[in-house]
Amino acid sequence: MTKKVKNIAVLTSGGDAPGMNAAIRAVVRACSYYKVNCFGIYKGYEGLIHNEIEELNARSVRNIINKGGTFLKSARSKEFRTEEGRKKAFDNLVKNNIDALIVIGGDGSFTGALKLSEEYGFPVVGIPGTIDNDINGTDYTIGYDTALNTVVEAIDKIRDTASSHNRLFLIEVMGRDAGDIALNSGIGAGAEEILIPEEDMGVDRLIESLRKSKKTGKTSSIIVIAEGDKSGKNIFELGEYVEENLEEDYEVRVSVLGHIQRGGSPSCYDRVLASKLGVGAVEALLEGKSEVMVGIVHKTVTIVPLTTALEKRIHKHDQLIKVADITSV
């Protein structure tokens, strides 16, 4: 028989994402609602190894639902990747009488949680928190919607200067393995071309397409590029290549949006998603579940094994790619 869960700990790990605070808040308040104790672990697995743990109550998480980042801080921990590191982490969980752990993070954080559970039989539940939307088994990850809106706003501003000067802008957005941010922000901001990691468009087709755009009367262009695109060139090399190979009188400029994509107040969508998943994670633990992720599928909170969450996501971008092609003629 599984032990009754009375003390739940929560941590945020890997890259921070807007909405993580809303998820922590929901976890803490669900614990309060179901009358179990809740502990916050600072700095992810690194803080767990160094016993940076504090009890939280419903009032500890007031005024954070609207804040970006994570008040528990996040970290990347090399030590947790080792068996010795995970032993220290487990010992601290036991020392603090904690009997279950909620991990808010991406696939790396889930891999770590799964190892902890497999090695020590410790109950763990994951909540997908990453701006990349690259986790299998959930339609959305916390932070993705906010990042998308931030990117669209930035591209709108760049478009103003692009069209005033007949400029061609190459804009790099986040997404090492997933083109979700590039594709959706590109369509939302009216980009002429979008390069994503899942598809190799080829630089020559890109040049050809830009030539065609020019012939149809376009005087400026926006190209959105996910950081993990498969052109084989970094964005600056790509900019030079385009400038050298495009005969038209475009000035080429490069803009890397970088960390602004992680920051800012979470969108309402992310706050609601985080609240649903935070409550869902506590309920999953109280129902005796472990080694699972709480995600959202067709607007419904859904539980999937962590092993499924860690599988490669099947990207179904075909419709979006077609829409991008049609709307950029």
Query: Which residues in the 34-53 window bind ligand ATP by CB under 6 A?
Result: 45
Binding region for ligand ATP (CB under 6 A) out of 12-20, 197-205, 211-219, 304-312: 12-20
Supply the minimum distance, in Å, between the C-beta of residue 262 and ligand ATP. 9
Single out the residue of 57, 73, 69 nearest to residue 25, CA to CA. Answer: 57
Residue 107 is a binding residue for ligand ATP (CB under 6 A):
yes
Give 126 or 239: the residue with its C-beta nearer to ligand ATP. Answer: 126
Q: For 106-226, where are the E strands, in sequence order?
A: 124-128, 167-173, 193-195, 221-226
Q: Three-state SS for 274? A: helix
Supply the minimum distance, in Å, between the C-beta of residue 15 and ligand ATP. 3
Binding region for ligand ATP (CB under 6 A) out of 1-9, 72-80, 302-310, 316-324: 72-80
Question: Which strand ranges, in their side-by-side order, compose the sheet holding 193-195?
Answer: 193-195, 221-226, 167-173, 251-256
Could you say which DSSP state residue 179 is in?
Answer: -
Residue 88 is a binding residue for ligand ATP (CB under 6 A):
no
Q: How far is CA 37 from the centre of its chain?
A: 28
Give 81 or 253: the residue with its C-beta nearer to ligand ATP. Answer: 81
Residue 130 is a binding residue for ligand ATP (CB under 6 A):
yes
Which of 16, 99, 107, 132 is flagged as catalytic? 132
Query: 132 an active-site residue?
Result: yes
Task: Please identify which residue in 47, 112, 228, 280 interacts with ligand ATP, judged by CB under 6 A.
Answer: 112
Q: How many residues bind ligand ATP (CB under 6 A)?
A: 18
Tell me the residue type at 222.
I
Q: How many CB atoms lie within 10 A of CB 190?
A: 14
Q: For the chain, where are the E strands, in sequence order?
A: 7-12, 37-41, 53-56, 100-105, 124-128, 167-173, 193-195, 221-226, 251-256, 292-297, 300-305
Give 25 or 262: the residue with its C-beta nearer to ligand ATP. Answer: 262
- Residue of minimal CB distance from ligand ATP? 108
Residue 106 is a binding residue for ligand ATP (CB under 6 A):
yes
Alpha-carbon distance of 136 to 143, in angstroms, equals 16
Quick one: tokens of 68? 């970006």
Residue 138 is a binding residue for ligand ATP (CB under 6 A):
no
Residue 186 is a binding residue for ligand ATP (CB under 6 A):
no
Binding site for ligand ATP (CB under 6 A): 13-15, 45, 76-77, 80-81, 105-109, 111-112, 115, 130, 132
Please give the positions annotated as active site: 132
